[in-house]
Structure 1
């Protein structure tokens, strides 16, 4: 089945229901489907067809949704990229993926234009917010007769190539099929109870797989109203939560932290949040408890990765949730936790998390060796260290490559970060290993404190020292103004280590 069928079926079922809201605009499902069909027809007339790759480099807006579904409809392969990428980052992706088309938007065209000049084979170039000229065709001018025939994609046809963040090396293009993406969207949507009047708060960037699956595709499948934000603005999100009758929020921990700070600073008149799904990175338990108390709602923490489309584990909706746990495998998925020899560890022991299910990618583009190392006998090796309790709930301990080995002892940064978050003056914390001539690695922490806080580095060091074994507490603590993060809010520990070494 082609993923575009999700929109077609919903448009038939609820054509007049509001699909998208953005700034001062809104589109019904019928209008959205008609616009997708027109753009699909226009792109097809430009010579783009099944299997052709297209870079989609747009900020979150209704046109992103239109372009995404139009490309899916004609069987093209979508390569969503961050609209803020610079020429260096784009050059790698374009060189690796060899696209035939590019769809972007003003004012984010200077960097791609520099790169596209060296790739004449990417001949179809479209941009939102420009006049058609020799460089770009205006997106607004894409107005062919409606294309009503949808390409009959097979389950194994690639729909999207999503490049991983590259925090441990060069980015890799995860090839996700129509089945990967539509099955994941339908599964997570059906797991949760929603109502037709629910408004989904669209703050996750749509170029990221979490935003595509849990926000865009799942909402379209269910026929919910999706209120899009071009960027995350805590104040604007708070106003929407206060104004609407019923809202749903999908967010990463950084967003949750900033919403807490905003609500504490200005107060919250009322909360319409029925539930919140947190993913993308580990959510500190203290933040989870504080958010639930302030917003009078429930957070269901889950886990996923680009290579899984992305959701594969989540705390069960309406069931037992465990703070600090990412939950249970979602329907269709299986997990294992194994040691370095590939043997299953005992309950409660730490090992690498392996997953298997319908969302697992078909492989990395142009990287058969990387694919073979990552997917073994159908099991995806996540690189995350985890443990499982007696009831099957999974707890992420840390990234396999983030684990610190201090004098032969394993130190898991997340455990230390959780303790730092307990301190009332700590806003954000990142723990990582730094080179040490005697011990191999030493534990270090960069900490952001709240405005007006007077806590010292020594006080924080003692705070942790009193709560953990002697080899675990950070000998090096540095108070910083902010932590370097990826576009999805993940702390870039590789950059923290590099900064340490350079000092």
Structure 2
């Protein structure tokens, strides 16, 4: 019997006066974080919220997020984190699907969440830092943390919903405890002296586990940024002496291409972690050269808490790969009939072990489809080398079939990233009567750079097979991204004038 909130209790008892989270010049020590979380627990208990009840959080990366998160966990509740940019009908869907009994919403977006809560018939608590501490002072701290079983659900993390409505991945206390420990002990070697960059959204699994939960477990401090901006990130690294940076590839690319980045002192960085999507090799090489650090790339999903596979410290790092399975995880590649795929051939990643979710909330059929014989089927395609290192090829659903030939967008994107003017690239399939699909590429250029679409097309043509290069190339100001900064291929479509 355990509770993820026990980590906060243990760390506060050891390092009560050390900083736990900071936002700009505002800091909460571990003792203050625990005290406020305990008052949230009393607030929830007074409203009849207890073990197994769902509590919605619609907040950006602010100090109040960990307070509410650990407060809800302390009474045994299940947290449902949501993107604060969601509109009322989207919030309503999450509230109805999860059966949430209460929702806390950040002041700037409380209007949308409030409308959703009213439609569902539950309370929406507006969170404003100007009076939040005063609100909590009306409640005495609840010092007892409710015991939970290892397989009790702790969070419902709604997947991005690339097909159909989003589904709530049920992660258990054991899932998240194990994955936070793997992050802290295996990937980053976190200690109480580390400052961790908190620019990944805490409402997303990557930021919640590898940022918040791993930091609290280790007694580190998490430096928050409400919304990623490359200059603000560089200022925070310099000002807070950030030692661990955890981000997605687009964050690294934006910092690398930020005007004036050479004026910032980033010498405090000792480890950089990348996940969320495949890191373009050119971005990795250029970032490491410019920032004098090593990036360790890995892989995981919301359904795996999220860390499943990584290039790990103390092991050979193979650039372009996602490394090997972490402690407590098995990984294999399978074909469409769930047969194992030989070394060197492409197959779908299947994952088994400690971080794999309990299932999808209220969706037994979807759970049975995703988890077969104990193996979670990811929908991602990869190949494995003789040393056991995995390399992502692409999302299964992103595969482009042009004239009967398989084209993996990432391979073409890597070729485009080799051009010095390219900041970001996304390759997509375009419906074609003769070939089934044609190859298209949306490209965003670095500030101050210029090149036309035709020249980029020829550049790619020289680097990939004839059936792979993008016949349709168009320049955009920026590419559509999800809440973590991951490029969303599904939202990209070719303009009429780009079609050949």
TM-score range, shorter chain: over 0.9
Task: Give the structure 2 partner of residue 104 of structure 1.
Answer: 105
Q: CA deviation at 1:195?
A: 3.9
- 1:128 and 1:140 in contact (8 A); partners too: no
Task: Give the structure 1 partner of residue 216 of structure 2.
Answer: 220
Measure, in 1, the Cα distance between the counterparts of 2:290 and 2:192: 26
**What TM-score results when the alignment is normalised by the length of structure 2?**
0.95
Task: Give the structure 1 partner of residue 126 of structure 2.
Answer: 127
1:360-398 CA-to-partner distances (Å, cap 9, x unmatched) read 111111211111110001100000000011111110000
Task: Give the structure 1 partner of residue 54 of structure 2.
Answer: 53
- 2:51 and 2:76 in contact (8 A); partners too: yes
Task: Give the structure 2 partner of residue 21 of structure 1.
Answer: 22
Q: CA deviation at 1:31?
A: 1.9
Structure 1, 266-275 or 35-44: larger mean CA deviation: 266-275
Measure, in 2, the Cα distance between the counterparts of 1:312 and 1:85: 28
Give the 3-state SS of the residue equivalent to 1:371 in structure 2. helix
- 1:238 and 1:263 in contact (8 A); partners too: no
Give the 3-state SS of the residue equivalent to 1:183 in structure 2. helix
Q: CA deviation at 1:42?
A: 1.9
Q: 1:4 and 1:347, CA in 2 relative to 1: closer, same or farther beyond 3 A? A: same
Measure, in 1, the Cα distance between the counterparts of 2:271 and 2:89: 39
The runs of at least 4 consecutive aligned structure 1 residues that moved more than 3 Å come to: 243-246, 263-270, 497-503
Q: 1:432 and 1:40, CA in 2 relative to 1: closer, same or farther beyond 3 A? A: same
Q: Any stretches of 5+ residues in structure 1 without a counterpart?
A: 133-137
Task: Give the structure 2 partner of residue 210 of structure 1.
Answer: 206
Measure, in 2, the Cα distance between the counterparts of 1:240 and 1:91: 35
Give the 3-state SS of the residue equivalent to 1:276 in structure 2. strand
- 1:126 and 1:139 in contact (8 A); partners too: no
Measure, in 2, the Cα distance between the counterparts of 1:247 and 1:432: 36
Matches within 5 A, 1:154-173: 154-173=149-168
Task: Give the structure 2 partner of residue 153 of structure 1.
Answer: 148
Measure, in 1, the Cα distance between the counterparts of 2:25 and 2:485: 28
Task: Give the structure 1 partner of residue 232 of structure 2.
Answer: 236
Structure 1, 167-176 or 218-227: larger mean CA deviation: 167-176
C-alpha RMSD of matched pairs (Å): 1.9
1:286 to 271, 282, 302: 282
Give the 3-state SS of the residue equivalent to 1:401 in structure 2. helix
1:184 to 179, 182, 186: 179
Measure, in 1, the Cα distance between the counterparts of 2:50 and 2:287: 46
Task: Give the structure 1 partner of residue 169 of structure 2.
Answer: 174
Give the 3-state SS of the residue equivalent to 2:333 in structure 1. strand
Q: Any stretches of 5+ residues in structure 2 without a counterpart?
A: none
Measure, in 1, the Cα distance between the counterparts of 2:13 and 2:116: 41
Q: CA deviation at 1:6?
A: 0.5
- 1:350 and 1:387 in contact (8 A); partners too: yes
Task: Give the structure 1 partner of residue 360 of structure 2.
Answer: 364
Task: Give the structure 2 partner of residue 428 of structure 1.
Answer: 424
How many matched pairs? 496
Matches within 5 A, 1:434-449: 434-449=430-445
Measure, in 2, the Cα distance between the counterparts of 1:485 and 1:408: 30
- 1:426 and 1:450 in contact (8 A); partners too: yes
2:450 to 451, 454, 471: 454
